[in-house]
Amino acid sequence: MKKTFNISVIGAGSWGTAIANLLAKNGHKVTLWVRNEKLLNEIKEKRENEVYLKGVKLHSSIEFEGDLNKALLDKDVVAIAIPVPFLRETLKGVGFRINSYVVSLSKGIETETFETATEVIKSTLDLDGSKIAALSGPNFALEVAKGLPTATVIASKNKETAELLQKIFSNNRFRVYTSSDIKGVELCGAMKNIMAIAAGISDGLNLGLNARASLITRGLSETMRLGFLLGAQKDTFMGLSGIGDLVLTCTGNLSRNRTVGLRLAKGEKIEEILSSMNMIPEGVNTTKAVFEYALKNNIDLPITKEVYEVIYNNKNPMDALDSLMSRPLKEENYLL
């Protein structure tokens, strides 16, 4: 008989809610922490997250909690789905040292420190690094919640941790692979959001399928260039968390970051785009974090630079395209 684990999912956005539902269907005892009191009461009453995952009925065994410390108490596993800009501040509210296995579901980089989500979690909660993992892959929350076939990656520096979590999360519609390259997996999950904004801009300008494919390919090159400098493994970029998630997020209509790009291409300002969205597109903050890091360390990331210019300096998207296309000609090489 499969062992039942006591699990808390921290964050009731679309992804956190979908993962809570998946884990409950896998037979585990699940608590979902909901920060917003109004949303908490609505979910309790309707057993549906109409704000972030409308149309998906939540498993009858899921418990809902508004107190962060109560949600974390005596858990075997904690899955954290807090957007990176709010991650550190949220975790500062934890009043005791937890000994659970911790899985990051977030895809971003903290602007001030250039730390990935697991690095923020580890330093803020003072955790044992051997019990920390990141889950990442081509996974739209709605499709996972509907039980459509999906594959993903659990990465941890500790093989036993990765394999334990692999068993906990896997089922016949959610296939989990393991990886030891947590840095590479998280970096891919962050960078693909920048490229999805760029792809959205390209599609919004009606630049064609050739342009989108070229952008995705060079976006992968940019991700690898940064990744190798930070110690990531080459195989990661060719896997589910690398090229898999990059293609999905740059082409799928459910991609919130691609949606940001589409709207930027139509002339909307980033402030009005963000204020009209329920869910946070991590790529906006990640673009700033990566651009500033690259500038400081003299790393050539031209797509990231132009996305930054469009978002933060109101550069005309067509001018950004011209800047990319008029760069000096060179040999094709993912490091160039």
Residue 192 bears catalytic tag: yes
Nearest in space to 29 (alpha carbons), one of 74, 58, 62, 64:
62
In angstroms, the CA 242 to CA 245 distance is: 6
What six digits make up the tokens of 153? Answer: 């990656």
Q: Are strands 150-155 and 132-136 parallel, antiparallel or unpaired?
A: antiparallel
Contact of 139 with 122, CB cutoff 8 Å = no
Report which DSSP code applies to 4: P
CA angle 296, 298, 304 (to 5 degrees): 85
Tell me if 9 sits within 8 A of 100, measured CB to CB.
no
Residue 257 to residue 250: CA distance in whole angstroms:
8
Nearest alpha carbon to residue 265 among 304, 326, 301, 307: 307
The catalytically annotated residue of 75, 107, 122, 192 is: 192
Instruction: For the chain, give percent helix, strand, coil, nearest 5.
Output: 50, 15, 35
Helix, coil or strand: residue 153 = strand
Measured CA distances, 20 to 11, 25, 60, 276 (Å): 10, 9, 11, 26
Q: What is the largest CA-CA distance in the chain?
A: 61
Residues with catalytic roles: 192
